[in-house]
Amino acid sequence: MLWLALHFHSLSLEVFSRGAAVPDPLAVVEKQGGRTWVIASNDAAEARGVRAGMAASAAQALADGLVLRRRDPEAERESLEGLAVWAGQFTPSVSLAPPAGLLLEISTCLSLHRGLPNLLRLARRGVAEMGYAATMACAPTSHGARLMAKAGVEKAIRGPARLESILAVLPLMLLDQPPAVLEGLERIGAQTLGDCLRLPRDGVARRFGQALVDELDRALGKVPEAHAFFEPPVSFERSLELPAPVHDAEALQFAVRRLLPELEGFLVLRQAGVQALELVCRHERRDHSVLKLGFARPTREASRMHLLLRETLGRTRLEAPVHTLVLRAPLVLPLSGSNSDLFRKGREADGDLLLERLRIRLGKEAVYGVETAADHRPERAWRPADGPKRTGRANPHRPLWLLPEPLSCRDGGLKLTSGPERIESGWWDGGDVARDYYVAEDRNGARLWVYCDRASGEWYVHGVFA
């Protein structure tokens, strides 16, 4: 087996800051005992001297304009689950490693992603696009890979002997052991995992507990590891709190881009696509506003979703400042990878994108497809189609271009070439007709579709052949 571990070392900070391109000085604080301490700070805050471990009051006195946010474990958990949804595009075997880690079993999917280097490149790019920072490590055991990632050792280890040599130099503070156990090991001079491994196993177990020995054995692959793999949700809905209220819709584009890779990973895992999206903008003391986006065909491409969201946001005026964005996929449709990746290229994909952009600019009611309807009357034998068109065979003896209203034809210069096609229909809805249709040619050779109204005897032109 081969495990990829991702450790999000700034997750407590990024749940507040990833929605802004250039965040303000920001620090995350947590109450420990009777005082409040800084546990993380962004680059802008560190440039002003703010550091982890500093009292919150001292940080505020040091950095004018510093924004303090209390740590939000619930938001961190939701973000970690969102990252697990995104990681499902690489492998369905994803495990959460709280509070800030993911474990991916990747040995069975390396060929699908054209090897480990390419998979790591895709993973790094996706993490950056979502606004996170992570260290990544690979090892034949999940716990070994996790310890390496937490230590910042970004290596890919496949052999057990090499893994033991790497783990031996890592500090004991990385282990998932109670503080009392770690302090006891430090008192006897053990600083690294290697120091602990050189101690007698029986003595270590008696003095510090069997859990310590078991954890070391799991890291080295000497005992089997049990995993509970993440179960993705059946629907997609992700929210992103903005660092500051946004007044201009176009300024929401950066935050929207943070959410799209998660949706793309969810759809790849589900082998599905979406034909509609909803972007919910939450306001203070005002009802939420919802922007809806429709696609000509189901899609799972984040780049295509972003293009149309950018078009929509560019033509939207916000009723009030937005403090939180919510991206929803109300309906998930099956979409096989072969149909999407191999056959829908070139003109078809470009045509879909053009259709979607025209709908945004001109309105959905102004741009639509056409499908046949079960009615003999030509003016009612079609209807607008929104989405995949139903299969139906057009009558080859009828033109595709009908005039908005039939034109009276009093000129006798037409030559009838075929017909008649008799239509008597519509008595049930008050639109009954009795007509004989013919194909005719005028003096210039144009082919027209004409009919004789059997009730009045009048002739009319109803359509033109190409």
* Residue 214 sits in the same domain as residue 93: yes
| Position 378 in a domain | no
- The answer to whether 304 touches 311, Cβ cutoff 8 Å, is no
Q: What is the C-alpha separation between 457 and 379, in angstroms, rounded?
A: 20
**pLDDT tier, 340 (very low <50, low <70, confident <90, very high otherwise):** very low
Q: Which residue has the higher pLDDT, 199 or 347?
A: 199
Q: What is the C-alpha separation between 145 and 149, in angstroms, rounded?
A: 6
What's the number of domains the chain is made of?
Answer: 4
Does the pLDDT at position 271 exceed 60?
Answer: yes
- CB atoms inside a 10 Å sphere around CB 286: 11
SS (H, E, C) the chain: CCEEEEECCCHHHHHHHCCCCCCCCEEEEEEECCEEEEEEECHHHHCCCCCCCCEHHHHHHHCCCCEEEECCHHHHHHHHHHHHHHHCCCCCCEEEECCCEEEEECCCCCCCCCCHHHHHHHHHHHHHHCCCCCEEEEECCHHHHHHHHHHCCCCECCCHHHHHHHHCCCEHHHCCCCHHHHHHHHHCCCCEHHHHHCCCHHHHHHHHCHHHHHHHHHHHCCCCCCCCCCCCCCCEEEEEEEEEEECCHHHHHHHHHHHHHHHHHHHHHHCEEEEEEEEEEEECCEEEEEEEEEEEEEECCHHHHHHHHHHHHHCCCCCCCEEEEEEEECCEEECCHHHHHHHCCCHHHHHHHHHHHHHHHHCHHHCCEEEECCCCCHHHCEEEECCCCCCCCCCCCCCCEEEEEEEECCCCCCEEEEEEEEEEECCCCCCCEEEEEEEEECCCCCEEEEEEECCCCCEEEEEECC
Angle among Cα 372, 330, 317 to the nearest 5 degrees reads: 95
* Residue 206 sits in the same domain as residue 267: no
Contacts of 263 (CB under 8 A, 6+ apart): 236, 238, 274, 302, 305, 327, 329
**Given the DSSP bridges, would you call strands 26-32 and 35-41 parallel, antiparallel or unpaired?**
antiparallel
| Position 228 in a domain | no
Does the pLDDT at position 206 exceed 90?
Answer: yes
pLDDT per residue over 116-126, tens digit each? 999 999 999 99
- The answer to whether 84 touches 232, Cβ cutoff 8 Å, is yes
**Residue 142, pLDDT score:** 96
Does the pLDDT at position 134 exceed 60?
Answer: yes
**Residue 338, pLDDT score:** 45
Q: Which of 100-114, 177-191, 328-342, 381-395 has the lowest mean pLDDT?
A: 381-395
pTM recorded for the entire structure: 0.74
Mean pLDDT across the chain: 87
pLDDT per residue over 3-52, tens digit each? 999 999 999 999 999 988 777 899 999 998 889 999 999 999 999 999 99
* Residue 285 sits in the same domain as residue 275: yes
Q: What is the C-alpha separation between 239 and 279, in angstroms, rounded?
A: 10
Q: Is the sign of the CA dihedral 328, 332, 78, 52 positive or negative?
A: negative
* Residue 40 sits in the same domain as residue 75: no
* Residue 337 sits in the same domain as residue 199: no
Contacts of 156 (CB under 8 A, 6+ apart): 116, 120, 137, 138, 139
Strand partners, 273: 333
Q: What is the C-alpha separation between 268 and 339, in angstroms, rounded?
A: 13
* Residue 332 sits in the same domain as residue 439: no
| Position 46 in a domain | yes
Which residue from 309, 282, 304, 5 is spatially nearest to 127, judged by alpha carbons?
Answer: 5
* Residue 90 sits in the same domain as residue 165: yes
| Position 208 in a domain | yes
Q: What domain range includes position 441?
A: 383-464
**Residue 362, pLDDT score:** 58
Q: What are phi and psi of 277, to 5 degrees?
A: -130, 155
% of the chain residues with pLDDT over 70: 89
Does the pLDDT at position 359 exceed 50?
Answer: yes
Name the packing angle between helices 160-167 and 142-151 (round to 10°). Answer: 40
Q: What is the C-alpha separation between 321 and 248, in angstroms, rounded?
A: 8
130: CATH? 3.30.70.270
* Residue 99 sits in the same domain as residue 33: no
| Position 41 in a domain | yes
Does the pLDDT at position 341 exceed 70?
Answer: no
| Position 229 in a domain | no
| Position 144 in a domain | yes
Does the pLDDT at position 345 exceed 70?
Answer: no
* Residue 274 sits in the same domain as residue 163: no
Does the pLDDT at position 376 exceed 60?
Answer: yes
* Residue 339 sits in the same domain as residue 420: no
Task: Please identify which residue in the block is written with the tokens 């149309």.
Answer: 308
Q: Which two tokens stand for residue 202?
A: 């029986």
* Residue 314 sits in the same domain as residue 209: no
Of 312, 332, 362, the residue at which a domain comes to its end is: 362
The average pLDDT across 313-317 equals: 87
* Residue 83 sits in the same domain as residue 111: yes
pLDDT per residue over 217-269, tens digit each? 999 999 988 889 999 888 899 999 998 899 999 889 999 999 999 999 999 98
| Position 230 in a domain | no
**Residue 344, pLDDT score:** 45
The average pLDDT across 458-465 equals: 91
**pLDDT tier, 366 (very low <50, low <70, confident <90, very high otherwise):** low
